[in-house]
Chain A
Amino acid sequence: METMNKLGRILMVEDDPKDVELSLTALEEYNLANEVIVTHDGEQALDYLYCRGEYKTRSSGNPAVMLLDLKLPKVDGLEVLKQIKSDGELRMIPVVVLTSSKEEKDMVASYKLGVNAYVVKPVDFHEFVNAIKELGVFWAVINEPPPGSVRK
């Protein structure tokens, strides 16, 4: 796959280490895990995007996609989404909400803020792996990310 297409960088915002591990396992199965940046709360995610705090020295460039959980410590997912979508520089980054919540109001709120996709994490592991894989393949490989995104 890598030989045919460049792999876009994935920014994962997920506070639950088990979810992180399972997601990375799923991505690894399809060799999509190399370019994954994991942040554990909303503040860290914003720090990464704005190259500040611990990410002050990171190489520039936006992720090709951001996988965003909604329930996050400090700054929650909807707030992160709101900040990204109201920032002229960052608003082009595709954001996929990846959450346990099936609540309609979360979905409506996310779409109103301009989310690019909304995915409910399936309880069934097979379905979960498939969902993660498809997301990874689509956003990091198939989709042509906006200019300024990091691809390798």
Chain B
Amino acid sequence: MARSNLELPLARSPVLRYGLAALSVSVALGAALLLERFHFRNVADPLFLVAIAVTVWYAGIGPAIFAVVLSGLGDTYFFIEPIYSLYITRDDIPHFVIFVLFASLLTGFAAVRRRVERDLVQARDDLQIEVAERTQQASLLNLTHDPIFVRDMSDVITYWNRGAQELYGWTDKEAVGRRSQELLQTIVPTPLEDIRAELLRINRWEGELRKTKADGTQVVVASRWSLRRDEQERPVAILETNNNITEGKRREDEIQGLNQELAKRSAELESINKELEAFAYSVSHDLRAPLRHMAGYTELLQERASSVVDEKSNHYMAMILDSAKRMGNLIDDLLAFSRIGRAETQKTRFNLTQLVKEAVSEVREGTEGRNIAWKIGTLPDFYGDRSMLRLVLVNLLSNAIKFTRTRPQAEIEIGSANGNGDELIVFVRDNGVGFDMKYVNKLFGVFQRLHQAHEFEGTGIGLATVQRIIHRHGGKVWAEGVVDSGATFYFSAPRPEGQLWRP
């Protein structure tokens, strides 16, 4: 748009503007006097009016009034009888008054016209600025990757940004003017009337929508609608911002599916666990009873018959009793082992040195007459189930006591070692009979024993229990041994938070 077409060449300086008034009136006066010399009649008034018109046009209303005054004076002095005087005869008054009125009218009209034009220019300028701003804003909206589009109240798209083009595959030329419902085949989660009602109530709505792209595939978008109203508060347009969440939605569905699967598995596990519990209960109760009866009746038999039967028969009865007792121990250990798997761990932070002392004093009972040198190092704090860890220590220490039985001077050491990073390691070392490293894998298995029953008693569950408890604490167990030179049993566990390693 060419701005200069309507530009008014209005002089800014007052000197120039009033000078223009004086100049144009002077020119008109000169021209009138010249024409009069050639006997043209009545040319002064039209010429003065032209001068006034030029002044009002180019210099504004002040200079124009000045021109009217000058013209009046010039007219009176040069052209109205008596000439060369400012005196006006009674007959000429109407002529003079009409001239002045006409000149004023011309000035007035010109001024009004002038003002209207100035307003128009102003309005045009404002409009151009706004257009520029809007254009810039629209191009800013184009910069965002989010699809944004505007539709009017009859659902016709009036704006379509580049993000929308990228997501839906329609260009703005294709989209603008189309009804959004037809173009995108939007599937709404709630009735459209409800959405509209909410939109009219609070001017916004947001939710998940399913829309169809130009290529026919569906996308899920998080959609935000904002209602635009005009100055009379009438709704005029809806601005919709979309956020493609198809991938997130897919993952969410996937996660939900996995969660359901997990819940199912967990329920299955729970029921298996319940069965196991019932099984353990039944073992605890029903297996023990016949055992007790075997032992009971054998004892009764022993009481009645020991004096009348031979030594062998007595030996047999003793063996039956021994076996019954052993089976009783096996059942007890097995049940304890199974309970560890089922029991809930109650984790606290506690001092390991104190717990080791308690465990030592527990296992010391029954070691009267033995010569055992205990060496307890500095131990770190431990985070775990205290009673379970106590069982670990009691088992390891009992083993150490048991397998050093053949030593005149038993040495049992409990200490800690540096683990990797956030791990703490505790070990129990003895100078007992040790074991062959080639069987190390069997050590922690249930019912696995590396010694014959007549050498060292045991059910083969102690170390399995230790392993199970440590595994439940997220740690590991391992052992090192040399036949006849002792064994070391290690367990590791995550270090309690905030504890620095101190050797």
Contacts and interface: CB of A to CB of B under 8 A. Distances in A.
Chain A bound to chain B: yes
Interface string A91-118: 0000000011111000000000000000
A41 to B, nearest CB: 16
Given A121-B289, A124-B328, 16 more contacts: A16-B293, A18-B293, A19-B289, A22-B297, A25-B300, A71-B285, A71-B286, A100-B285, A100-B286, A100-B288, A100-B289, A102-B335, A103-B285, A123-B325, A125-B321, A128-B292
Contacts of A22: 292-293, 296-297, 300
Nearest to B321: A125
Interface string B289-314: 10111011111100000000000000
Contacts of A103: 281, 284-285
A152 interface: no
B332 interface: yes
A19 B295 CA distance: 12
B209 interface: no
A126 interface: yes
Dominant SS among interface residues on chain A: loop
Interface residues of A, number: 19
6 contacts: A16-B289, A18-B289, A18-B297, A101-B284, A102-B335, A103-B285
A125 B301 CA distance: 12
A126 B299 contact: yes
A72 to B, nearest CB: 11
Given A19-B289, A121-B288, A123-B288, A101 B281 contact: yes
Which of B286, B289, B300, B321 has the most C-beta atoms of chain A within 10 angstroms of its own C-beta? B289
Contacts of B297: 18, 22
Interface of A: 16, 18-19, 22, 25, 70-71, 99-103, 121-126, 128
A100 B298 CA distance: 19
Interface string B321-353: 100110010001001000000000000000000
Contacts of B296: 18, 22, 125, 128
Contacts of B288: 100, 121, 123
A146 to B, nearest CB: 30
Contacts, number: 59
Contacts of A126: 299
A71 B284 CA distance: 12
A124 B289 contact: no
Contacts of B321: 125
A98 to B, nearest CB: 12
Contacts of A125: 292, 295-296, 298-300, 321
A100 B286 CA distance: 8
A122 B247 CA distance: 64
Contacts of A100: 284-286, 288-289, 292
Nearest to A104: B339
Contact of B295 (A16, A25, A102, A123): A123
B360 to A, nearest CB: 26
B299 to A, nearest CB: 4
Nearest to A101: B285
A98 B435 CA distance: 43
B283 to A, nearest CB: 10
A85 B101 CA distance: 125
B285 A99 contact: yes
Nearest to A123: B328
Interface in B143-181: none
A123 B285 contact: no
Contacts of A124: 295, 325, 328
A22 B289 CA distance: 11
B275 to A, nearest CB: 15
Contacts of A19: 289, 292-293
Contacts of A18: 289, 293, 296-297
B286 to A, nearest CB: 8
Contacts of A99: 285
A10 to B, nearest CB: 19
A110 B286 CA distance: 19
A128 B332 CA distance: 16
Contacts of B324: 123
A99 B285 CA distance: 8
Contacts of B300: 22, 25, 125
Contacts of B291: 123
Max chain B Cβ within 10 angstroms of own Cβ: one of A16, A101, A123: A123
B461 to A, nearest CB: 15
Contacts of A101: 281, 284-285
Nearest to B290: A18
A16 B292 CA distance: 12
B333 to A, nearest CB: 12
- The 10 A-B pairs at the shortest CB distance, nearest first, are namely A123-B328, A125-B299, A125-B296, A18-B293, A22-B296, A100-B288, A100-B285, A125-B295, A101-B285, A123-B292
A66 B325 CA distance: 28
B451 to A, nearest CB: 24
Nearest to B280: A103
A98 B312 CA distance: 36
A69 to B, nearest CB: 10
